[in-house]
Amino acid sequence: MDNRALGQLDKLNVWHPFTQMRDWVAGTPIVITEGSGCFIKDARGRWYLDGVSSLWVNIFGHRKKEIDDAIKAQLDKIAHATLLGLAGEQSILLAVRLVKLLGKSLVSQGRPPLTKVFYSDNGSTAVEVALKMAFQYWLHKGVTGKNAFLSLNRAYHGDTLGAVSVGGIDIFHSTFNPLLFKTFKSPAPYCYRCELGLEPASCAMACLSEMEKILKEHANETAAVIIEPKMQAAGGMIAAPEGFLRGVHGLCAKYGVIFIADEIATGFGRTGGMFACGAEEVVPDIMCLSKGITGGYLPLAVTVATDEIYNAFLGDVGQTFFHGHSYTGNALACAAALAVLDLFETEDTLNQLRPKIEILAQWLKRILHICGHVGDVRSAGFMAGVELVRDKKTREAYPADEKMGWRVVLDVREKGVFLRPLGDCIVIMPPLVISEDNLSAMLQRLEESIINVTE
């Protein structure tokens, strides 16, 4: 079936995520039928460089033989069996590997390690698990009243209602306000557009001081603080300044609240280290992982907790953690994840990534310097954002109806690169294994499109 016929059927029957369908049905969908390495192919036979890793999940490229083989081998044994009343070989082996990897990657003097792995299906459910764990932990400790959470403005932690409650992006979340539970919001470390009207060189990280004011007043109501370490991804690729993560962790310890690290987007090499928390020697009480865990092959998520959290649930039936999913610990997904962890070791992925991080960093400096409508560039390792503005001197944003971000990515799509914007912030997050030549070509084409569309 050709692209046109498939596109028409798509318009009739498929409701797309984060998409105004009125606009979608007015256009011609690109129907993807194949992938190879860092490229995807549409039904017309045209190839595109996958510049956003199929929404940040793909690490080693499409049709990676080692991951393919691991899934095929597991399929010859069993695809899935419940973890409710049973244990699973692959989920056991993966949990052991993850705990060992976290222990190696997150080193902090005197902090208890993350040791207990709870499986779910995606990033949102991993966050739901973490929130419910934190809330129920305090009940089992005999502490009442800790019914709220603290998160950042512009936060995105998923789309289930608990995750939306700790979110902070109005266009995504405000519709559901009547359904949400109580949260406190602290300023995002968005240095380019500081909520407090300050400048990074002289602010002394005032956003962290604002968080402390909230905790000082509301610690007795707060079960946990949840943030994305180092980079607020869907919030606009907001890179936190050095020390912010460590500061949040320290405030949680000072005021006796649980610290939840949402590493769904930042984990598995995206920020240059295996986990973003490792950059500032932070070990959270609970960590959420998903996206790259299976290399972009299958849905899988984990919520990893310390023994301190886990032990609070040991006791009679009333202390049970009543949460689960039909496909918890799916054997095929766990087999894919084990293959991914093998590849990180055999291909020395993090060391191989370093020169590509430098290529990206140098290009970001260049585009900020040469383009009059690039207001800010932000990155953490191999995650980056380019913010487009109407006026560079005043930082005036483009009117929303100009859809400048979309115009740029549609232009570069014609050059064979698939990217997506967050408003007028162009997200750059290709597979970790992209070649230096393909990375340079992608950045050059994006540069041409930015200049072509904005100037």
The span from the CA of 285 to the CA of 226, in Å, is 10
Phi, psi of 315, deg, nearest 5: 160, -140
State the architecture of 31-60+348-454 in CATH terms. Answer: Alpha-Beta Complex (3.90)
Three-class HEC string of 390-427: CECCCCECCCHHHCHHHHHHHHHHCCCEECCEECCEEE
Q: What pLDDT score was predicted for residue 109? A: 60
Distance between first and last Cα of the chain:
40
Whether the pLDDT of residue 257 is over 70: the answer is yes
Q: Do domains 31-60+348-454 and 73-346 have the same CATH topology?
A: no
Average pLDDT, the chain: 96
CATH architecture of 73-346: 3-Layer(aba) Sandwich (3.40)
* Band (112; pLDDT cuts 50, 70, 90): confident
Q: Which candidate, 363, 397, 361, 394, places its Cα nearest to that of 239?
A: 361
Q: How far is CA 74 from CA 68, 84, 341, 392, 411, in A?
A: 10, 20, 16, 54, 42
pLDDT band at 94 (very low <50, low <70, confident <90, very high): very high
Each residue's pLDDT tens digit, 119-167: 999 999 999 999 999 999 999 999 999 999 999 999 999 999 999 999 9
pLDDT at 1: 86
Return the structure tokens found at 208.
């962290």
What pLDDT score was predicted for residue 111? 78
Side-chain half-sphere exposure of 322, counting CA atoms within 13 A: 4
Phi, psi of 409 (to 5 degrees): -70, -30
Position 4 confidence tier, pLDDT thresholds 50, 70, 90: very high
Write out pLDDT tens, residues 39-77.
999 999 999 999 999 999 999 999 999 999 999 999 999
Confidence of residue 211 (pLDDT cuts 50, 70, 90): very high
pLDDT at 107: 78
Kindly report, residue by residue over 342-383, the tens digit of the pLDDT: 999 999 999 999 999 999 999 999 999 999 999 999 999 999
Compute, in degrees rounded to 10, the torsion defined by CA atoms 98, 100, 105, 109: 130
* % of the chain beyond a pLDDT of 90: 96
Q: What value does the mean pLDDT take over residues 245-265? A: 98
Instruction: Specify the pLDDT at position 108.
Output: 64
Two structure tokens written together for 279: 């950059």
Which residue, among 338, 339, 355, has the nearest Cα to 433 in the 3D structure?
355
**Averaged over 183-203, what is the pLDDT?**
95
Give the residue extent of every domain in the chain.
31-60+348-454, 73-346
Other CB atoms within 10 Å distance of the CB of residue 359: 14
* Residue 252 pLDDT exceeds 70: yes
- The better pLDDT of the pair 112, 285 is held by 285
Cβ neighbours for 363, distance < 8 A, ≥ 6 positions apart: 440, 443, 447
